């Protein structure tokens, strides 16, 4: 089924965001593991896996719409040197993703592609959950102080 060109371009932009997020979250996860924060490693790694699933769904939809998935484009990856920086960079990434998915959903509705809208809405729900988790981490760091928080992140 030949899809709307603007929507396919938007799906490719979302794909670039997801591929970027995968890289950012994997690097953050591995840094946490290197520092001995196994629980944070696991959280960041699971978020990266969620983003891989999102990328897979976007690729599948682009192909269905007879578009070409662009997988060689990444946006700027923002690696945090310390845990609070990682959490903030991840929060900013999710904030951007939520806005981008909301905008894409509006476009899908405008071009009357309700199946794409539904796929995007499901991914948006995951992004909202990611934001909730990231904000929770930020709240814990603020309330416990960083040193105490970090003691809770080892196995």
pLDDT digit string, tens, across residues 54-93: 999 999 999 999 999 999 999 999 999 999 999 999 999 9
pTM: 0.95
Mean pLDDT, rounded, of the chain:
97
Which residues have a Cβ under 8 Å from the Cβ of 130 and sit 6 or more positions away? 47, 50, 90, 94, 97
Kindly write down the DSSP assignment for every residue of 74-123, as one continuous string: -------SSHHHHHHHHHHHHHHHHHHHHHHHHHHHHTT-HHHHHHHHHH
Helix axes 5-35, 83-110, angle to 10 degrees: 160
Share of the chain above pLDDT 70, in %: 100
**Is the CB of residue 130 less than 8 Å from the CB of residue 47?**
yes
Spatial distance between the Cα atoms of 96 and 132, rounded to a whole number of angstroms = 14
Q: Which of 76, 81, 89, 70 is nearest to 11 (CA)?
A: 70
Spatial distance between the Cα atoms of 5 and 151, rounded to a whole number of angstroms = 50
Spatial distance between the Cα atoms of 97 and 93, rounded to a whole number of angstroms = 6
Q: Rounded mean pLDDT of 22-51?
A: 98
């Amino acid at each position: 089924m030949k899809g709307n060109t603007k929507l396919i371009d938007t799906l490719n932009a979302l794909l670039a965001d997801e591929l970027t997020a995968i890289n950012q979250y994997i690097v953050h996860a591995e840094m946490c593991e290197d520092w001995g924060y196994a629980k944070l490693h696991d959280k960041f790694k699971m978020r990266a896996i969620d983003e891989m699933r999102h990328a897979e769904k976007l690729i599948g939809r682009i192909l269905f719409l007879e578009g070409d998935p662009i997988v060689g484009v990444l946006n700027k990856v923002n690696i945090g040197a310390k845990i609070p920086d990682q959490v903030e960079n991840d929060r900013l990434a999710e904030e951007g993703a939520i806005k981008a998915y909301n905008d894409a959903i509006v476009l899908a509705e405008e071009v009357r592609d309700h199946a794409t809208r539904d796929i995007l809405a499901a991914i948006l729900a995951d992004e909202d959950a990611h934001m909730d988790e990231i904000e929770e981490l930020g709240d814990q760091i603020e309330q416990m102080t960083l040193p105490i928080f970090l003691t809770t992140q080892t196995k």
